[in-house]
Structure 1
Amino acid sequence: MSDQQLPNGRATAEMVAARAKVSRVAVSRAFNPGASLKPEKRELILRIAQELNYTPDRAARALVSGRSHLIGVIVPDVCSHWESQEIDALTTALQAEGFATLLFKTRTDYSMDEKLLAYMRGFNPDSVIAFVENVKPATLVRFLDRAVPIYVHYPHPDEVPPAAEPLYDRLNVLQRNGIEQAVALLQGYGAQRIAYVSGLDKSRANTAREKMLRSVMAARDLPPPIVVAGDFSYDMAYAATLDLFRLHGGADAIFAANDVGAFGVLDALRHELGLRVPEDVKVVGFDDIAQSHWKSYNLTTVKFDLDERVRALVRLILRRLSDPGMPALEETLNTRLVVRSTVG
């Protein structure tokens, strides 16, 4: 039967094998970059497959290999600047390794509907990356079969190791170096009264960031930061800055929980309060998103290197899949201060 005679008009691996005069196994190997096959034979098979418009049946291959080549990603937000840039970079890196991405979004309180977790399980992902620690490992692993989840974690030196938990892998992001560099720079310019415009209360990243800032300031004999409530957004940081100066006596310097919040701080200082940055008030952000170097902001910020983060996450996935029985895996990244014109 020719491909024109097939009921669904779809070519099969057997048809490719017959045209290329190779075995069915060779066709399968040609679509597996890690499989052993002579380059000229792989090139022939792929060319004929393209002529016949043949693509492997992923579901059938998953049944044989036990691998779906799908990676679940759980995020709190998909449109904020940091998350959108990270999702874009991560998806690109995963596709280069032969994976497709399944994106799942939490509720606004960072929890996740268990019906959605059950739906995710139906895809049998090879791995799941949870950017939100509020979806606990104990909860997540109940909805996974063989996949070991990966969590992004912001450890503190005083942190007490958790009690026995289900197996999960971890990307540790160490915030101390970057925050310490920022506080030292501010202190060197004479800042004593430092404020922190926070992120969402339910964000563990925000909690860890504030705790580390307090720890670093205490170690340098500075008074605790003045904490004003934010939610990682431009508008909330703008309003919080006005409250800080009109109701709470202002500050010499302001840390914002993220760069977008820092943009709100800068615009409130300059356009509403008539203050100069950095002469009157110094401003530091977190993340170093792509917009931070724009000349309107030119923001001094604690940098989380996006490319390093993505490479570390992909390494965790590949290491786990190469040996599923390994104990918990970890990768560790550091932070550093990027100095621009908002401090100086």
Structure 2
Amino acid sequence: MSDGLNMKEIKRPERATADTVAKMAGVSRVAVSRAFNPHASLKKEKRDLILKISKDVGYTPDMAARALVTRRSHLVGVIVPDVCSPWESQEIDALTTALQTEGFATLLFKTRTDQSMDERLLTYMKGFNLDSIIAFAENIGPETLANALDRAVPIYVTYPQNGVSPIASGSTAVFDRLDVNQQTGIGQAVALMQAYGCTKFAYLGGAKTSLANIERERALRQILKDRGLPDPVIIAGDFTYETALTSTLDLFKMGEGVDGIFSANDVGAFGVIDALRFKLGLRIPEDVKVVGFDDIAQAGWLSYNLTTVKIDLDDRVRALVRLILRRLKNPTAPAMVETLETRLIVRGTVGS
């Protein structure tokens, strides 16, 4: 080098170790390890001191080495079909935040457009030694995941039909479930719409392969039948705004129209509302009443003010985290199940 400096003379600073921190803090090496585990019992003052010294000297635990000893990677995999739609993005954000609070890092795996999984990703999963994996894509069955995982037990969000989960009925692999009861909220929606005079309903569907969509349509049909109302007119949809807008225009321009539309999700309901208001000149709720599903943040915006069936996101995330923690405490337990109810959030698109 031009300045005559010999690279061999440059010594890299030694990496701080747990022993370094323990000596400086006047605690045991075990206490240092416990300070980085949010669930470990340790006095706050001692934990704060250890963490401060660790930051000052640049010490971080070697997670790979710890995983070899504890057989815990502190990694949770999440399989999703989509990451940019409002519901999925809000759920991933809330779930990642909750998992980080519990000391977990999140690995995101995205399916193909047909919700199948790249074989390479399945191979990667086993190599990561995941503590748990949550599958928001129903097409990747429990047997497939069981073959791709080591000790982790997958978690599925399912939508039972008459109390029976479609995934559970056809699987022999052990997996845990969060069952979402959609019928309660849909029943409340139909009752309110009927009370305000709806007699002819339409259902704006979602993706045809979605079990959530299939169960929403089935539940709506049954509830309408029980209340003495005719079957709903089915509007083709795929959970997107654009398709919902176009399909709503087709319904009213080519058919007789309806006085109540139940959408499989809120984004679809937004397309319905904009088609009715800005393309067809119809009033909401006076001419047509509209209900969505999910209660995403945008549903409460004044421009939509959407009445919708709510899946409580905080409750859903807490239930998923509980399943993970319960499974880690009892790895060989039979299938674990949490149940989540739905409820109607009343805003301005049904009654004034």
Q: Does 2:321 match 1:314?
A: yes
Q: Does 2:31 match 1:26?
A: yes
Question: Does structure 1 conserve the Cα–Cα contact (< 8 Å) formed by 2:142 and 2:171?
Answer: no
Q: How does 1:111-122 map to 2 (within 5 A)?
A: 111-122=116-127
Give 1:334's aligned residue: 341
Question: Does structure 2 conserve the Cα–Cα contact (< 8 Å) formed by 1:285 and 1:302?
Answer: yes
Q: Indicate the SS of the match to 1:108.
A: coil
Residue 56 of structure 1: how far off its partner (Å): 0.5
Deviations 1:197-229 (A, max 9, x none): 111111111111111111111111111111111
Q: Does 2:214 match 1:207?
A: yes
Looking at structure 1, the residues matched to 11 and 67 of structure 2 have their Cα atoms a distance apart, in angstroms, of: 24
Residue 164 of structure 1: how far off its partner (Å): 4.9
Give 2:158's aligned residue: 153
Say if 1:312 and 1:141 are closer, same or farther in 2 by CA, change over 3 A.
Answer: same
Give 1:269's aligned residue: 276
Residue 114 of structure 1: how far off its partner (Å): 1.8
Say if 1:256 and 1:49 are closer, same or farther in 2 by CA, change over 3 A.
Answer: same
Q: Indicate the SS of the match to 2:257.
A: coil
Looking at structure 2, the residues matched to 305 and 20 of structure 1 have their Cα atoms a distance apart, in angstroms, of: 44
Say if 1:6 and 1:154 are closer, same or farther in 2 by CA, change over 3 A.
Answer: farther
Q: Does 2:15 match 1:13?
A: no
Say if 1:158 and 1:87 are closer, same or farther in 2 by CA, change over 3 A.
Answer: closer
Give 2:72's aligned residue: 67
Looking at structure 1, the residues matched to 240 and 82 of structure 2 have their Cα atoms a distance apart, in angstroms, of: 12
Q: Does 2:289 match 1:282?
A: yes
Question: Does structure 2 conserve the Cα–Cα contact (< 8 Å) formed by 1:110 and 1:202?
Answer: no
Q: How does 1:223-234 map to 2 (within 5 A)?
A: 223-234=230-241
Question: Does structure 1 conserve the Cα–Cα contact (< 8 Å) formed by 2:80 and 2:136?
Answer: yes
Give 2:6's aligned residue: none
Say if 1:43 and 1:296 are closer, same or farther in 2 by CA, change over 3 A.
Answer: closer
Query: Structure 1: which amino acid aligns with 2:182?
Result: Q
Say if 1:179 and 1:37 are closer, same or farther in 2 by CA, change over 3 A.
Answer: closer
Residue 68 of structure 1: how far off its partner (Å): 0.5
Query: Structure 2: which amino acid aligns with 1:95?
Result: Q
Q: Does 2:137 match 1:132?
A: yes
Give 1:162's aligned residue: 169
Give 1:174's aligned residue: 181
Say if 1:8 and 1:146 are closer, same or farther in 2 by CA, change over 3 A.
Answer: farther
Deviations 1:79-115 (A, max 9, x none): 0000000000011111110011101111111111121
Residue 318 of structure 1: how far off its partner (Å): 0.6
Q: Indicate the SS of the match to 2:309.
A: strand
Query: Structure 2: which amino acid aligns with 1:45?
Result: I
Say if 1:158 and 1:101 are closer, same or farther in 2 by CA, change over 3 A.
Answer: closer
Looking at structure 1, the residues matched to 221 and 200 of structure 2 have their Cα atoms a distance apart, in angstroms, of: 13
Deviations 1:112-170 (A, max 9, x none): 11211111221111000001111100111111111000000011117476145100000
Residue 48 of structure 1: how far off its partner (Å): 1.7
Looking at structure 2, the residues matched to 59 and 158 of structure 1 have their Cα atoms a distance apart, in angstroms, of: 42
Residue 36 of structure 1: how far off its partner (Å): 4.0
Q: Does 2:334 match 1:300?
A: no
Looking at structure 2, the residues matched to 48 and 17 of structure 1 have their Cα atoms a distance apart, in angstroms, of: 9
Q: Does 2:132 match 1:103?
A: no
Q: Indicate the SS of the match to 2:115.
A: coil
Q: Mean alpha-carbon deviation: is it higher for 150-159 or for 36-45?
A: 36-45
Aligned length: 340
Deviations 1:180-203 (A, max 9, x none): 011111111221211111111111
* Identity of matched residues, %: 66
Residue 14 of structure 1: how far off its partner (Å): 2.0
Looking at structure 2, the residues matched to 40 and 284 of structure 1 have their Cα atoms a distance apart, in angstroms, of: 52
The RMSD of aligned alpha carbons is: 1.6
Say if 1:6 and 1:249 are closer, same or farther in 2 by CA, change over 3 A.
Answer: farther
Q: Mean alpha-carbon deviation: is it higher for 94-103 or for 180-189?
A: 180-189
Alignment gaps of 5+ in structure 1 = none
After TM superposition, the score normalised by the length of structure 2 is 0.93
Q: Indicate the SS of the match to 1:122.
A: helix
Give 1:44's aligned residue: 49
Question: Does structure 1 conserve the Cα–Cα contact (< 8 Å) formed by 2:133 and 2:153?
Answer: yes
Say if 1:164 and 1:268 are closer, same or farther in 2 by CA, change over 3 A.
Answer: closer
Alignment gaps of 5+ in structure 2 = 1-9
Residue 65 of structure 1: how far off its partner (Å): 0.6
